[in-house]
Amino acid sequence: MGMTMTQKILAAHAGLARVQAGQLIEADLDLVLGNDITAPVAIREMNRFERKGVFDKDKIALVPDHFVPAKDIKSAENCKCVREFARCNEITHYYEVGQMGIEHALLPEQGLLSPGNVVIGADSHTCTYGALGAFSTGVGSTDMAAGMATGKAWFKVPSAIQIRLTGCLRPFVSGKDVILTIIGKIGVDGALYQSMEFTGPGVASLSMDDRFTIANMAIEAGGKNGIFPVDEKTLSYEKEHGAKPGTAYEADPDAVYAKTLDIDLSQITPTVAFPHLPENTRTFDRIPDIPIDQVVIGSCTNGRISDLRTAAAILRGRHVADGIRCIVIPATQAITMKAMEEGLLKVFLEAGAVVSTPTCGPCLGGYMGILAAGERCVSTTNRNFVGRMGDVTSEIYLASPATAAASAVAGKIADPTAYADIVDPSRV
């Protein structure tokens, strides 16, 4: 009986010839990640350990990104805690204001991840790095503390769902629409503690940014991780960002999957997740006129340069509708610089949007876009739970950057394919 991609990676890091679903293992870690919310808890836990210091200062990444620049005294104290810990332990990969970014966009950009890595992060969307053929998953702050101290973590080997992709995406349809479609089919617990393994000829047609978005939201289907095979696009991305050589693992032909889901990318259309779960998806043949109050384009899910290019293509020469707040948040400093060089920031500002420094901010109801009672927001973030972005009576509609930009112009949830005269820059 063969192994899946994830199982092969875990076996290698546990020093075992093979593993099987349900098996408990201890695996070596290639990277441990924390942010300004979760790392302070882990740091306090580490202070209780008999063993002092970190296992490897080069294999820990600390990224204050949720409430930065600090929005209040508490967030400032959290950042100070992480900053002092990084300084005391000479952490190599510490990124703060001026060089920072949203962690799950920043770490791949900095070349810190390689195919075949095992990565844990005290943030549920650590599963993003599966786009690079790594096993990456979110853990609690206590597990992060143990990982920083020992360089090891315990795992129950997950079973897997095979998601076979065929075809190519249509214009103004993106990875966000793909993952929302999948979650709509299987539900928010449809992959509970399972590896979502993406295969098939359609993978080659997806950009790396599409793959990052899809892997990022594996957790929204309950997945332990999402993972893509390593191909030429992966290797090109890794080379461009100076990552260390990794190991590309392929599933065995006789690998066992809990189930297989077939997705024809060419049949996917712009998709929106209605409140208050990512599984509540609808396509535009089932969406009535719904007026909105705010649009957010950004986050670890959709704040990359291709996302900004797509949004700018729709907003160029147009204006945000009266009464609509449109907030654009590039995911990293480098993306902000690139957007500035390409004139995208000018497009956003001329359209009546506001551009923020990189931050998770509004995604978790932190700042830079909190919702008042009864307000509606179209957002490119990853969760639309009750009260996620503000008042418990507010509503979040999850969508792609194209849909978000079109909605900002229309003042209601709007189909981006109405802009058929524009060439989708993310597909060029």
CATH number for the domain that contains residue 144 = 3.30.499.10
Q: What is the DSSP string of 273-295?
A: EPTT-TT-EEEGGG----B-SEE
Residues 199 and 339 in one domain: no
Residues 234 and 378 in one domain: no
Distances (CA, A) of 266 to 148, 167, 194, 204: 43, 5, 26, 13
Residue 427, pLDDT > 60, answer no
User: What percentage of the chain has pLDDT greater than the value 90?
Assistant: 90
The total of structural domains in the chain comes to 2
Strand order in the sheet with 354-355: 281-283, 271-273, 395-398, 376-379, 294-297, 325-328, 354-355
- 93/108 Cα distance (integer angstroms): 12
Residue 99, pLDDT > 90, answer no
Residues 259 and 222 in one domain: yes
Tokens 């797509």: give the residue. Answer: 310
- 368/251 Cα distance (integer angstroms): 43
Q: Please tell me the least confidently modeled range out of 83-92, 262-271, 417-426.
A: 417-426
- Output the pTM of the full model: 0.94
Residue 428, pLDDT > 70, answer no
Distances (CA, A) of 12 to 113, 215, 223: 17, 22, 21
Distances (CA, A) of 254 to 2, 4, 5, 229: 5, 9, 12, 16
DSSP H/E element including 333: helix 333-341
Residues 201 and 118 in one domain: yes
pLDDT (0 to 100) of residue 41: 94
Q: Answer with the one of 237, 265, 293 that is the final residue of a domain.
A: 265
Neighbours of 103 (CB within 10 A): 28
Domain that holds residue 110: 5-265
β-strand partners of 28: 152
Residues 178 and 204 in one domain: yes
Residues 178 and 279 in one domain: no
Residues 327 and 410 in one domain: yes
Residues 239 and 171 in one domain: yes
Average pLDDT over residues 358-374: 91
**Which segments of 187-328 does DSSP mark as H helices, in order?**
208-216, 232-240, 299-302, 305-315
Q: Answer with the one of 265, 293, 325 that is the final residue of a domain.
A: 265
The alpha carbon torsion through 390, 394, 398, 402 (nearest 10 deg) reads -100
Q: Answer with the one of 231, 265, 299 that is the final residue of a domain.
A: 265
Strands (E), 76-124: 93-94, 118-121
Residues 108 and 230 in one domain: yes
Taking only the tens place, the pLDDT of each residue in 283-339 is 999 999 999 999 999 999 999 999 999 999 999 999 999 999 999 999 999 999 999
Residues 226 and 289 in one domain: no
Residue 425, pLDDT > 90, answer no
Taking only the tens place, the pLDDT of each residue in 9-21 is 999 999 999 999 9
Residues 401 and 308 in one domain: yes
Do 413 and 305 contact (CB within 8 A), yes or no?
no
Tokens 């979650």: give the residue. Answer: 183
Residues 233 and 302 in one domain: no
Residue 426, pLDDT > 80, answer no
